């Protein structure tokens, strides 16, 4: 049984890494996927094809989700083409390996706007659509560092991911009476291109050795998101699901 059949799901930053893993996991459960990608990337033909190969349906929609005007335009298109939105996954994000002595003002704004402001913009627009339906699922992709802080630097990244959890809790209270749940997934060390880009192969090896279950895969996160979007999670809201292989326990 496909739990998410006939559901329309928007996954931001869905061209690679966690976003791609999430998009594929939702597609396996029957959801039609809107694959969001930023203007500086080429159209995600590969992701779309992989979803089609699974027997699913998908469409690419370009928008810089840190830009409110572009987010509004994307949601206008979603409304016109689908007339509904059942799932929003706020996944778009980036990281930067700098400590507080190296971070410039523009670094701070870029990370916070990409990771945090985007979630606010998309959630605001999604909740307007979901309110009309009296149903919906919103999931933020946060991080283990929101709980424990980063091992090295990343103060802007940690702040943005912690901010997401505060947003989740507040939106969950607002959304509950509208039939909408709002939750987060906090991944640990997941094997993605961004991980190797920000840490390097040697450091990633050391990090992997420190995780009881080793490095995670994007589909580990995708399966957690799919659960939170399913009817089985109907009574879960304002929660954070840790997917970190036992690296951080709370």
Measured CA to CA, the distance from residue 185 to residue 146 in angstroms comes to 11
Question: Rounded to the nearest 5°, which phi and psi values hold at 144?
Answer: -55, -30
Q: How many CA atoms lie within 13 A of 172 on its CB side?
A: 19
- Exactly one of 37, 82, 121, 157 is catalytic; which is it? 157
Query: Of 140, 125, 227, 121, whose CA–CA distance to 183 is shortest?
Result: 140
CB atoms within 10 A of CB 77: 15
**Nearest C-alpha neighbor of 91 from the set 143, 54, 149:** 143
**How many CB atoms neighbour CB 242 within 10 A?**
19
Contacts of 115 (CB under 8 A, 6+ apart): 92, 93, 94, 157, 160, 161, 164
Give yes or no: 121 in active site: no
**Catalytically annotated residues:** 157
């Amino acid at each position: 049984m496909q739990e998410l059949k006939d559901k329309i799901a928007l996954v931001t930053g869905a061209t690679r890494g966690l976003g791609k893993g999430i998009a594929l996991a939702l597609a396996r459960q029957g959801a039609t996927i809107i694959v969001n990608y930023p203007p500086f990337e080429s159209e995600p033909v590969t992701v779309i094809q992989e979803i089609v190969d699974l027997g699913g349906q998908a469409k690419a929609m370009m928008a810089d989700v840190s830009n409110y005007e572009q987010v509004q335009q994307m949601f206008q298109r979603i409304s016109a083409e689908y007339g509904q939105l059942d799932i929003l996954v706020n996944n778009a994000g980036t990281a930067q390996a700098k400590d507080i002595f190296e971070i410039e003002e523009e670094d701070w704004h870029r990370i916070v706007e990409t990771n945090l402001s985007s979630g606010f913009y998309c959630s605001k627009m999604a909740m307007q659509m979901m309110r009309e339906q009296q149903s919906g699922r919103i999931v933020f992709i946060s991080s283990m560092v929101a709980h424990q802080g980063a091992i090295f630097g990343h103060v802007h990244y940690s702040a943005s991911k912690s901010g997401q959890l505060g947003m989740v809790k507040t939106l969950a209270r607002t959304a509950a009476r509208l039939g909408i749940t709002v939750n987060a997934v906090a991944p640990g060390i997941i094997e993605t291109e961004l991980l190797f880009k920000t840490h390097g192969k040697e450091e990633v090896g050391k990090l992997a050795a420190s995780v009881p279950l080793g490095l995670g895969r994007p589909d580990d996160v995708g399966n957690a998101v799919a659960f939170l979007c399913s009817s089985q999670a109907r009574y879960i809201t304002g929660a954070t699901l840790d997917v970190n292989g036992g690296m951080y326990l709370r």
